[in-house]
Amino acid sequence: MAEYNEDFDGIRVTEVNQRENSWTFLVELGHGDNLVECYVEVNRDYWTQLTSRRVEPAGLIEATFKFLLEKTPKEMIMKKFNLNDIIRLYPQYENEIKRIL
């Protein structure tokens, strides 16, 4: 796992599991008493659809959380979800993330 850094107040993405068709990432937002942890699953096909394999899965996750943090406080982000669930809450997600990447 990632090391504690008291100056860190951003986004830390760590791959915690890889399967044939997906990855699971731990995303840490903030630190200490303000730390919020989220587990995100990314299906390989959805990653390919969004990135055309030009961006690593961890890079997609980081960009996704930057997108989410522009829309909602970190405490309101789901603690466990599949990346393709985002489009139900934010229909513009796929278009915006493709533009950002």
Model pLDDT for residues 38-65, shown as the tens digit of each residue: 999 999 999 999 999 999 999 999 999 9
pLDDT value at residue 9: 57
Give the pLDDT band (50/70/90) at residue 3. Answer: very low
Residue 23: exposure state from Cβ atoms within 10 A (0-12, 13-18, ≥19): buried
Domain assignments of the chain as residue spans, ordered by start: 11-100
Query: For residue 68, is pLDDT > 50?
Result: yes
Q: Which two tokens stand for residue 98?
A: 């493709």
Q: Are 41 and 24 in contact (CB under 8 A)?
A: yes
